[in-house]
Structure 1
Amino acid sequence: MLVLRDPRLAGIETRAGPLPWQPRARGFPGLLRAICGQMISNEAAGAVWRRLAALPGATTPEGLLALDPARLGIEGGLSRPKVAHARALAAAILEGRLRLDALDAMGDEEAIAHLCTVKGIGRWTAEVHLLFGHGRPDVFPAGDLALQAALGHLAGLPARPDAKALAAAAEAWQPFRAVAARLLWHHWLHHTKRATMEPEENAPA
C-alpha cells in the first residue's frame, strides 16, 4: 500500500535488497543507545555504543549510576554532555519520573512528550527509540540527516530537504511513516555503500 502511494519508494528493495528489520531493545538500553547517537555519525555512534555496553552494569539504570562518570567518558566513549544525559535518564527511571512501562498505552505524541521530560532526550531521540524499540508504525524522525539526504537523492532534489520539508513530504506516507523511514535509510545505505545504517541526528536533543 505504501509503495502504491509513492512510486519513489517502490524500487528501493529491488535495488538494495530486502528491507532488514532490525529492532532494538526497549527500556533503558534502547534509550541509552539512542543517546549515543546524538549529533554524531552513524559509524561513531555504533562504536560508542559497543564501548559503553561493554562496561559492567552500564546497560541498567542502577549499574550506570554506580559507574564513575569519568569512566563513562574515558572507557565508554561518551562526551561530557552525554554522560549527563545518560545519568539523568537512569535517575528519572529509578525515581519513577519516566514511566517506560506506560509508553505502550500512550499515543505517539504523548509518548514523545513523556520521553522528552528527561534532560538530554529531545524529539529525535524519542522518535528513534519509539520507532526501533517499540515498533511504532507511524513515527518519523524528520530531523534525521540520513532521511533528509535519502529523500533528496531519491527525489532528485537540488538540495537536501530540511526537517520541515521532510516532515511535510512524509505526511503522504501516513499511517506507515516508520516503514517509509526504514526504506529511506535502506536506500541511503545502499547508495552510500555503508555497511550499517544508524539514524543521524540533525539537531541537539
Structure 2
Amino acid sequence: MLALETAHGDLARIRPAAGPLPWRQRDPGFPGLLRAICGQMISNAAAAAIWGRLSALPGALTPAGLLLLDDAAFRTAGLSRPKMLHVRALAEACASGRLDLDAVALLPDGAAIAAIAAIPGLGPWSASIHLLFGLQRHDVFPPGDVALAAGLAHLRGMEVRPTPKALVAIAESWAPWRSLAARLLWHHWRHATGRGAE
C-alpha cells in the first residue's frame, strides 16, 4: 500500500482523511458471485439487505439448492425479475460445469473475467468485483464503476466524472496495484459522502 501511495500523492491523501482502509472480502465461490449479482446497479445498503434475505433462504448458497427456489422466494428476498434470471443462469452454469469456479480461480485475470462475464447477467463489472473481493486479485479495476469515477473526480477536484474508458486509462498508472487503488477510491468516496464503511 505504501508503495502505491508514495508513487501517487492523491491516493496518499485518502487514509489520513478517511481513516484505516477496511479490507472487505467475499466468498471466492458461488456465494461470492451470487452476492455480486445482488449488488448490481443499487446502493451498498440495498444490496446488503437483499443479500441478507437471499442468503437466509434454505439452499440458496449452492447451485442445486438455488435452482429449487421459486419466483416467490426470490421476490421475498427482493430480487427483481432480471436478477432472478441472472441468479438462475449462474446456478445452472455452475451446476452443469459450464462455469467451473475452481478452474476459474487458477486463470489469469483477463481469462477469469472473460469466463465469468460469459454467463448472462455477469458482465465485466461483476466479474472484476468477484476477482477483487472474492479471489483477492491485486491488479483488477472494475470498469464502469460509478463510485470509483465519482471518488476520483472528488479526490482530484475534477468538474466532470471520468468516463469508464477514461477511468480505465487513468488506472493504468496504478498497475500492478489497481485493486488497491480501487479500494482506496471507494474508501474515499464513502468518507466524502458520509457513508462510512457501508
| TM-score normalised by structure 1 residue count | 0.93
Secondary structure of 2:183's counterpart equals: helix
The CA distance in 1 between the partners of 2:69 and 2:77, in whole Å, is 10
Q: Match of 2:37?
A: 35
Residue 71 of structure 1 is matched in structure 2 by: 73
1:12 Cα offset (Å): 0.8
* Distance in 2 of aligned mates of 1:181 and 1:137: 10
Cα distance between partner residues in 1 of 2:135 and 2:25: 8
Partner letter of residue 119 of structure 1? P
Q: Tell me the equivalent position of 2:148.
A: 147
Q: Does 1:80 align with 2:81?
A: yes
Distance 1:20 1:196 in 2: 7
Kept after mapping to 2: 8 A contact 1:142/1:148: no
Among 50, 53, 56, the residue aligned to 1:51: 53
Q: Distance in 1 between matches of 2:30 and 2:38?
A: 12
- Equivalent residue letter for 1:157: M
Counterpart-to-counterpart distance in 2, 1:92 and 1:78: 19
CA contact (8 A) 2:153 2:161 kept: yes
Task: Determine what percentage of the aligned residue pairs are the same residue.
Answer: 58
SS at match of 1:62: helix
- May I ask how many residue pairs the two structures share in their alignment? 196
Partner of 1:93: 94
The residue aligned with 2:122 is 121
Q: Post-superposition shift, 1:196?
A: 3.2
Determine if contact 1:64/1:87 at 8 Å carries over to the other structure. Answer: yes
- Residue in 1 that maps onto 2:157: 156
Give the distance between the partners of 1:30 and 1:93, measured in 2 at CA. Answer: 13
Return 5+ residue gaps in structure 2 as ranges: none
Q: CA deviation at 1:70?
A: 2.5
Q: RMSD in angstroms over aligned alpha carbons?
A: 1.0
**Separation in 2, partners of 1:195, 1:67:** 34
| Equivalent-residue separation in structure 2 for 1:54 and 1:114 (angstroms) | 28
Q: Match for residue 64 of structure 2?
A: 62
> Deviation per CA, 1:73-104, whole angstroms, max 9, x where unpaired?
2x111000100100010010010000100122
Q: CA deviation at 1:69?
A: 2.2
Residue aligned with 2:64, SS:
helix
Amino acid at match of 1:132: F
SS state at 2:180 partner = helix
**Structure 1 CA distance for aligned equivalents of residues 52 and 90 of structure 2:** 19
Moved over 3 A (4+): none
